[in-house]
């Protein structure tokens, strides 16, 4: 018990010296999620030069501890770390949880003892695979998400878990002289804000990766709409947008420079949509393969009977096929340019996207990089 007490005192002392997260970078960053799909990542498929940070998704929680998500994880970590030869400033984080992997969070955060078990496993995991930090993707504190256990106490325990992770990461950094990043993926909703203490959370995390997408999804919403509108269209009765979410998080106490604007490299496909107004904000239904990576949209939708339209109010494109009554909500280079400008003009920390393999040609990533690096050219 004396050894454990001394360890905790040490964490407290280091945390007192470095209570806040790392200083914000002097330019907007790009953070890309890479989803392994439980398989080895393809060699030479990742453009390390245009990325600042990679969040590898996902590892899991088992018996309160962080564990690998699949047998290919060690091989994939080695491949990602090797990218630093091309870009020495690139950082590699591992993301724990996700929509289907958040079941163990509420239990892991429940008590001081359970948090200690989780945190020690996190430090050990990062050390074992030579990673630069942890992205906590709890979907979502205080709510069931994909049928997960949840508690009212999640609100406070989420904050405690992150504070104690920060303390442990600071202690590890003091020994290893290697900065460890701590980030979260945050749901862009009033419910997420109500179930968290974002002002306190923001003080201890490096970035809040704001998932400003999936505002409208087939099967969940009776009317079509934009996956990730930058601004709200007055004709959309839901009145949702990335801009509204950013402002809500700022109001909740998250500094702009810690917010990363989330953008999707995928779209949603709706069927049975009437032709009126080219299908926008009209009744529709879910279809097979309703998740459409940008690469598939380019290959199978653009110029294949679909017409592209632009919603100037939302700063978002959409596709409609009058013959098949299919509607597609997605992002393209024009909307990505608008979102990059928004991030720069609103002094955000940068842009985060899901997910790298959905844009195999790198077209969207290239637009984001240019829009963040060349603000004077606009």
User: Which residues are marked as active site?
Assistant: 139
Find the largest Cα–Cα distance for the chain: 74
SS3 23: coil
SS3 274: coil
What burial class does residue 239 get, using C-beta atoms within 10 Å of its C-beta: 0-12 exposed, 13-18 middle, 19+ buried? Answer: exposed
- Helix, strand, coil abundance in the chain, percent, nearest 5: 35, 25, 40
d(CA 267, CA 288): 13
Omega of the bond prior to 355 within 30 degrees of 0, cis?
yes
At residue 256's C-alpha, the angle toward residues 253 and 258, to 5°, is 90
Buried b (16+ CB within 10 A) or exposed e, 14-32: bbeebeebbebeeebbbbb
Buried b (16+ CB within 10 A) or exposed e, 81-113: bebeeeeeebbbbbbbbbeebbbbbbbbbbeee
d(CA 32, CA 365): 9
CA terminus-to-terminus distance, the chain: 61
260 has which bridge partners?
Answer: 209, 350
Q: How many CA atoms lie within 13 A of 140 on its CB side?
A: 17
What does the block give as tokens for 117? 């078990």
353 has which bridge partners?
Answer: 32, 263
The answer to whether the CB of 322 falls within 8 A of the CB of 311 is: no
d(CA 308, CA 328): 9
């Amino acid at each position: 018990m004396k050894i454990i007490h001394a360890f905790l005192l040490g964490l407290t002392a280091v945390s007192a010296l470095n209570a806040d997260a790392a200083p914000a970078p002097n330019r907007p960053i790009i953070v890309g999620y890479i989803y392994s799909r439980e398989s080895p990542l393809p060699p030479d498929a990742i453009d390390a030069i245009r990325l600042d940070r990679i969040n590898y998704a996902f590892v899991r929680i088992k018996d309160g501890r962080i564990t690998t998500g699949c047998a290919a994880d060690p091989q994939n970590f080695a491949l990602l770390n090797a990218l630093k030869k091309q870009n020495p400033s690139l950082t590699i984080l591992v993301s724990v949880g996700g929509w289907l992997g958040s079941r163990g969070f509420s239990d892991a955060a429940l008590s001081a003892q359970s948090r200690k078990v989780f945190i020690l496993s996190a430090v050990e995991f990062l050390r074992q695979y030579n990673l630069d930090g942890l992205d906590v993707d709890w979907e979502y504190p205080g709510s069931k998400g994909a049928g997960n256990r949840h508690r009212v106490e999640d609100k406070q325990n989420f904050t405690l878990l992150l504070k104690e992770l920060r303390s442990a990461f600071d202690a590890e950094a003091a020994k290893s002289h290697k900065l460890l990043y701590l980030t979260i993926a945050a749901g862009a909703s009033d419910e997420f804000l109500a179930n968290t203490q974002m002002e306190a959370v923001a003080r201890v995390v490096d970035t809040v990766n704001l998932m400003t997408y999936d505002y409208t999804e087939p099967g969940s919403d009776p009317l079509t709409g934009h996956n990730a509108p930058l601004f709200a269209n007055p004709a959309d009765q839901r009145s949702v947008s990335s801009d509204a979410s950013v402002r809500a998080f700022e109001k909740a106490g998250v500094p702009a420079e810690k917010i990363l604007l989330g953008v999707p490299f995928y779209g949603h496909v709706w069927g049975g949509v009437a032709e009126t107004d080219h299908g926008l904000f009209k009744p529709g239904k879910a279809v097979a393969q309703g998740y459409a990576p940008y690469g598939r949209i380019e290959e199978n939708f653009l110029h294949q009977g679909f017409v592209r339209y632009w919603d100037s109010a939302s700063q978002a494109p959409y596709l409609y096929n009058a013959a098949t009554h299919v509607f597609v909500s997605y992002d393209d280079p024009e909307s990505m340019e608008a979102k990059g400008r928004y991030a720069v003009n609103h002094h955000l920390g940068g842009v985060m996207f899901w997910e790298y393999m959905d844009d195999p040609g790198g077209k969207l990533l290239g637009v984001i990089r240019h829009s963040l690096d060349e603000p004077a050219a606009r």
